[in-house]
Structure 1
C-alpha cells in the first residue's frame, strides 16, 4: 500500500513536467482525451447509457 502511494506521489509531481516537454499539441490532445473519458464516465455512472452519450456527441 505504501509503495503505491509513493508511486502516485512521484507521478503526480512529474506529470506536469513531462507535459511541458511534450509541446502544446500532444498536451492539448492528452487533456482533451482525459476530459472526454471523464465526461463519459460521469454520464455512465449517472445512469445515462453510452449510446445516448454518443448521440449527444454526434449532434454537437
Structure 2
C-alpha cells in the first residue's frame, strides 16, 4: 500500500526516474528500443504490485 505522502511527493517518485531516462537517452547514454520500454513498464508495474503485498 502507498504510504500517506503528499501527492507531490508521489509525483516526484515517478517523474524523477522518467526524467532521468529521457535525459540519458537524449545524451545517448542509453539507447531506446521497444524491448527496453516493455521491460521498464513491467518493472514499474511489478513495483506497484509489490507495494500492495507489503
TM range (shorter): 0.3 to 0.5
The structure with the largest alpha-carbon Rg is 1
> TM-score with structure 2 length normalisation?
0.38
Taking CA–CA contacts closer than 8 Å with sequence separation of 6 or more, which of the two structures ends up with the larger relative contact order?
Answer: 2
